[in-house]
Amino acid sequence: MNNLPIGIFDSGVGGLTVARAVRDQLPHESITYVGDTAHTPYGPKPIARVREYALSVLDDMVEQGVKMLVIACNTASAAMLRDAHERYDVPVLEVIQPAVRSAVSITKNGRVGLIGTVGTIKSRAYDDLFSIRDDITLFTRACPRFVEFVEEGVTAGPELHRVAIEYLTELKEANIDTLVLGCTHYPFLRGAISRVMGSGVRLVSSDIETANDVYRVLAEHGLMRGDSHPAEYRYKATGDNADTFLLLAERLLGSGVPSVDLITTGTRGIDIIQD
């Protein structure tokens, strides 16, 4: 038994999709969520820089006390897939392996698509994991503007549809039957992506799969929370842009963020506490 919170980390608000899935499956678990909004977006940045930013946040989270780290950001996961597990004493989960596992179990024709940020696609982290399956061919495409749409709160409309056609037509023509949404922002665009890909293509996102992993690892390591008090949720954003974080979190998750207090904790960041 362990009553410390689960630490969930993303470059910004996208990882809230993972936090939401963890809350749904494990409502008695406390969560500390950190969005590195001072450095968002990670997608277009060099992978070494992303690694540096992510490690600094994760080091702090471990120091402040979490029982598990969830890297709820594909770009950060891609940057740290190899060494994050060795660096920390607590279990470290990320979003790439669950998505790959899920896609492998879903595809029937062995033709899988992957969309993500420029950083994620360039890192070839997914390619490496899929490469052990020689019955699977991976088709990839970076879709940087998708993050911009989500950040602007746009999850539908003609401009998004136009851009989705531009990004996705090649994948559709490659006759894929499974598409991995390799970015934590993309689950918000499921409708728009599905409209272009058609109902024959299954969309795989890492939020629910990662939450399944969180459940399994907590259970296997005897780390489930034993405290009978209600779980506590703390949302933190680095930098000085808490308002944007809050606005987006509310817009995207609706009642998932019912009331929020802002407190300043010093120069490094702003704590956003949810009652």
Which residues does the annotation mark as catalytic? 73, 183
Q: What's the rounded Cα separation, in Å, for the pair 113 and 89?
A: 34
Q: Minimum CB separation from ligand DGL for residue 170, in Å?
A: 20
Binding mask 93-132 for ligand DGL (x = CB under 6 A): ------------------------x--x------------
Q: How far apart are CA 257 and CA 246, in angstroms?
A: 8
- CA-CA distances (angstroms) from residue 85 to 8, 11, 14, 55, 175? 15, 19, 22, 12, 36
Nearer to ligand DGL, 77 or 178 (CB): 77
Residue 64 · residue 140 · CB < 8 Å: no
Which residue from 31, 36, 43, 99 is spatially nearest to 69, judged by alpha carbons?
31
Using rule CB under 6 A, residue 17 touches ligand DGL: no
Sheet containing 31-35: which strands, arranged edge to edge?
92-94, 68-71, 6-10, 31-35, 233-238, 269-274, 260-264
Cβ distance to ligand DGL smaller for residue 193 or 223: 193
Tell me if 42 contacts ligand DGL by CB under 6 A. yes
Q: Coil, strand, or helix at residue 241?
A: coil
**In the set 2, 7, 10, 103, which binds ligand DGL (CB under 6 A)?**
10
Q: How far is the CB of 261 from ligand DGL (least distance, A)?
A: 25
Closer to ligand DGL by Cβ: residue 151 or 232: 151
Contact 232, 3 (CB under 8 A): no
Residues 58-97 contacting ligand DGL, CB under 6 A: 73-75
Please report how close the Cβ of residue 77 comes to ligand DGL at its closest, in angstroms. 8
Which residues in this chain contact ligand DGL in the complex, by CB under 6 A?
A: 10-12, 14, 40-43, 73-75, 117, 120, 147, 183-185
